[in-house]
Amino acid sequence: MVLLLTSMTLASVPVGYLQVVLPLYLNRAGLDPSLIGLLYSLSGLVTAGLVAFSGALADRFGRRGFLMLGTALPICSYAIFLVTTLPAWLVVASLLGGVGLANGAAGAMTAASFDALLAEHSPVVSRTSIFAWAQTLWSLALGLGSVAAGAAEWLRLVRPDLGELDAYRPPFVVLIVLAAVASLLLIPLGDVGSSRSEPAAQQRRGWLPRRSAAVIARYAFAIGLFGLGLGVAVQLLPLWFKLRFGADEALLGPWYAAAAVLSLGSVVISPWLHRQLGGAMAVLLVQLLGGLSLLSIAVIAPVFEIAAIAFVVRNVLANLAWPLQQSMLMTVAVPEERATAAGIGFSIWGLANAAGPAIGGLMMQSGWLGLPIVLGSAAYILGGLAFGLGFRNIKS
């Protein structure tokens, strides 16, 4: 479990850096908001198209191999960012991984396998706590990456001779190194949950997760709404902050880092909410409050600092919800169908997430800055209601 969590942490630091930097970097390179949104949408579409198949194949042939490939694949995208800003190559980068939280083909390889492997290494009684620790480490990694979001600005202060885009290139080298180390750490990892190591009586017949179908359907509907909210409102927030308040990476980085650090509380709060309310009602409460916090960014935030505080609150609440959602699915799904269940859920999440950035980017370019955030807020609130009502009678 230590190798699994350490690899995930190192691989997530670049995600934290890019979630702040990439939209602004691409905008500085001359790309319009609508094209930037399209790149994020393409990444999400690839994830949605591949992840369900990835989960089914991982259940059959071994989850570790899929996780290793998905962890290493963003290296190609980071290398593209390092050497070019040509739109055609940026499309390739978005397809492979490294653009957006969906993370293209790389996200498809890792999403289902990681959850299934972590569940296999987790006793049922402590599963929510272990997933909360995973979420906490992920948040910490995002925070570390976000702190470095101003690296290009700092480099230009030290090296005034560097061009505006050249200053971004050394950090991309660091991202490549981190992804490579994260991939190597997975080599000794055991694959205890693959169908190869399960008793024949427990192995799933056929490719469809028939025994977990009802659970997966309820989960996928709710998680799809969360993906839509993330795509239309959250992924392009750095660009929204720039257009609305003139904020740059150096100003945004500390706020993203603060959100990640405060999210470390999920390791304590998420299991406590699970004990007090049950997993379903805890998700409903947290996503409802998160949706309202997101809405306040556009509706009642006249200055940058107020909007940034609302963003931090929203991120903290979102990080509380993820371990509750993941633990619920991994507990109620049949063990030999876990990777498939996670893959189908993430596929629906990715498909909805893919539609969002293109829509949000087009709205921003048209001057409707508040509308994407309002739509995203509504999606989170409806998703929370769907999750709470759909799982209210299931004990986890």
Give the model's pLDDT for residue 199. 41
CATH architecture of 2-193+211-390: Up-down Bundle (1.20)
Give the model's pLDDT for residue 52. 67
Give the model's pLDDT for residue 177. 95
What is the spatial distance between Cα 96 and Cα 347, in angstroms, rounded to a whole number?
16
What is the spatial distance between Cα 350 and Cα 346, in angstroms, rounded to a whole number?
6
Give the model's pLDDT for residue 155. 85
What's the pTM value of the predicted model, to 2 decimals? Answer: 0.67
Question: With the CA atoms of 279, 282, 286 and 289 taken in that order, what torsion angle do they form, in degrees rounded to the nearest 10?
Answer: 150
Q: Quick check: 335 and 193 in contact, CB under 8 A?
A: yes
What is the spatial distance between Cα 3 and Cα 185, in angstroms, rounded to a whole number?
6
Give the model's pLDDT for residue 294. 92
Give the model's pLDDT for residue 285. 94
| Token pair of 203 as six digits | 């192995």
Q: Quick check: 47 and 108 in contact, CB under 8 A?
A: yes
Give the model's pLDDT for residue 208. 62
What is the spatial distance between Cα 41 and Cα 95, in angstroms, rounded to a whole number?
10
List the chain domain ranges: 2-193+211-390
Question: Which pLDDT tens digits describe the chain residue by residue (396 residues)?
Answer: 788 888 889 988 998 888 888 888 888 888 888 888 888 878 878 877 777 677 677 767 777 788 888 889 899 999 998 888 888 888 888 888 877 666 778 877 787 678 777 777 777 667 777 777 787 888 788 888 888 888 888 888 888 877 778 888 888 999 999 999 999 998 887 655 444 444 433 444 455 666 777 888 888 899 999 989 988 888 888 888 988 888 887 888 889 888 888 887 877 888 889 888 888 899 999 999 999 999 998 887 678 899 999 999 998 998 888 888 878 887 787 777 777 777 788 778 878 877 788 888 888 888 888 899 999 999 999 999 999 998 887 765
| Token pair of 21 as six digits | 């930097």
| Token pair of 350 as six digits | 């990715």
Give the model's pLDDT for residue 209. 62
Q: What are the distances in angstroms from CA 57 to CA 109, 154, 196?
A: 10, 45, 12
What is the spatial distance between Cα 251 and Cα 242, in angstroms, rounded to a whole number?
10
